[in-house]
Structure 1
């Protein structure tokens, strides 16, 4: 606890001096309840300060807070505004979320073409969720007919990342995850799960949730467990739960 308090104090001091990285990290601590009590309002406050200084990750997280109405009023148009700022800086998660907003017409006029554009930008950076949804919607006749995006475009995007994903998954599945005598392998396994989960792999997200919930090969952390279950649930995984 003492280390957490010290870390929180140091980060807060840097954040109050205007350091954007510290402001973002402080927002993360409040957002996830790590090193500080979970507090949506404080998370939004510090994400905003960092976002206003142009930090893309903070802009993305602030957009999420607006979209979900956590700590601040739920305003889709504001979510879009911050996603757009982050997306223009190349943040793949923001590009994906922006694609979803355009596809659903939330906070912006509905536009299939804009949705495809932002999904494609995210997919080209290896964003698995964007790649998968792009694959689905581009195979619909209306997209092929109405937009300058065809199945060949999707295949180019997919081929850029599929081999990498498959290789990582094979290596991950071949590595032990519970042998107490192989701590190095456990650390490598966790890295593999994290990489796949961050790319949108639902199975990896569920596995991380289970690992953190049960304290299996990682420190037990309900906040982390909930975070990964939530990501899987947002992709429609029926067994994702907190």
Structure 2
């Protein structure tokens, strides 16, 4: 979440669901946000795909998350994918899907009717972020607690292919710059005139919420002790500027 004064831009690294579903969840929690006020790492992925001219991404994510990309055509079995986009969805992160992604990135055949491209242009791996873990609700086999994030799967494909992924979500500088631009556009604020520290980012992860990009831009970094926060989260080379028990305490202090 990025904010200045009383103005908030909801910036999420969630890749499990579409923006519309995330807005519904926020509404159920009492946060009334418009579509223009929400930015997710998936929407940043879509923007990158459009800017780079990718037309045929192989999507490893939930059906809900895939709806973010409905404006793109679906490749036929004879067409080559030009990119791979990862989202965090346990059923989708199967060996078969990851192996298919590997083959696409290595320009290997993926079906009997598909012939590898003769073009020198390689397919590109795109990932919303590299978070190693997440806070998960209870399941039929495990209680609530930390679970694997998308990061290990991104590293797996990077290691196997020898190619780095394009990371577009938090904590990249470009993601925060987009969020700040949206903040200014939505509320008519000249964000360029603000002093360093007048814009804050709030999160429960010092690395993936409050990391490199936030520091590079001089944002005030606020850690909340909720979600995947653990006591050791504060023991970092770059400690947060302030720590609160929860988001409500931060808002109380702000107003």
**TM-score, normalised to structure 1's length?**
0.30
Q: Give 1 or 2: higher helix fraction.
A: 1
Which structure has the highest strand share of the two?
A: 2
Name the TM-score, length of structure 2 as normaliser.
0.29
